[in-house]
Amino acid sequence: MVDAVQSRSEGRPGMSRSPVAEQVYGEVLSRILSGELQAEERITIDALGRDLGVSQTPIREALHRLDADGLVVHAHLSGYRVAPRLTREQFEALVEIRLLLEPAAARYAASGSDEKGRRALQQAAACITPDLIDTSDHHAYARFSQLDAALHNSIAAQSGNSFIEDAVSRLHTHARLFRLSDRADITIRAIDEHSAIVAAITERAPDRAAEAMREHLERSAERFRTAFRS
């Protein structure tokens, strides 16, 4: 089953992961985002290994990474469980810190990124295609969340500020947010908003880049807020 997973994570520089662990990560991520694995549900390494037909080593590697992402939690003696979803208070705090960090990152990227960096952003945005909008395919939805995260992390990296880059990366924002909803407009509207941000950075328009990022974050937050209104 794991061979069918087409996940490719966007890791931090210098990190090396086995292909099988990458596939396991993508499969478990997909199950969490789709709700197949519920909050607080126990994840048994042996059972997961039998289900996916892989050894314990890549499963442990994938679960360790999911733990770092805030999607699973590990407790001594009791093993791994799916992490709770964000509370409304945690969600609003996450939105607040993103609004402080990411418009600044976009502004700095527009001012200081080189041609190679701007091409990298264009390529990252181009990977986020409409075929990933089918939320009935939980692998596609998970892949969208990873590519979305990769684009935002790339913008932070192009800011030239290592503290902003590190902070944005460590928040693992997208892994947490995409658990809240699988509505199609979350993905459809994000594609156009990403295009506006990348265009402003490419055209070296700092004010416009910062504003486009701010608008994207605010609109995205409003889309995800519907999860707390049902």
Instruction: Render 40-85 in DSSP notation, one character per residue.
Output: T-EE-HHHHHHHHT--HHHHHHHHHHHHHTTSEEEETTTEEEEPPP
For 26-75, how does the pLDDT look when each residue is reduced to its tens digit (9 = 90+)? Answer: 999 999 998 899 999 999 999 999 999 999 999 999 999 999 999 999 98
CA distance 30 to 71: 11
Contact 185, 176 (CB under 8 A): no
Q: Which CATH architecture does the domain made up of 2-82 adopt?
A: Orthogonal Bundle (1.10)
What's this model's pTM, rounded to 2 decimal places?
0.85
Contact 41, 11 (CB under 8 A): no
Instruction: Give the percent of the chain with pLDDT over 70.
Output: 90
Q: Output the pLDDT for position 10.
A: 42
- Of 1-15, 124-138, 197-211, the range with the highest mean pLDDT is 197-211
Q: Is pLDDT larger for residue 212 or for residue 19?
A: 212
Domain extent listing, the chain: 2-82, 88-228
CATH superfamily of 88-228: GntR ligand-binding domain-like (1.20.120.530)
Please give the torsion angle defined by the CA atoms of residues 168, 169, 175 and 176, in that order, rounded to the nearest 10 degrees: -40
Q: Output the pLDDT for position 141.
A: 84
For 84-143, how does the pLDDT look when each residue is reduced to its tens digit (9 = 90+)? Answer: 999 999 999 999 999 999 999 999 999 999 999 999 999 999 998 877 766 567 788 888
Contact 176, 68 (CB under 8 A): no
Long-range contacts formed by 201-208: CB under 8 A, 24+ apart: 201/106, 201/109, 201/110, 201/113, 201/118, 201/121, 201/155, 201/158, 202/118, 202/121, 202/122, 203/110, 204/110, 204/111, 205/110, 206/107, 206/108, 206/110, 206/111, 207/107, 208/110
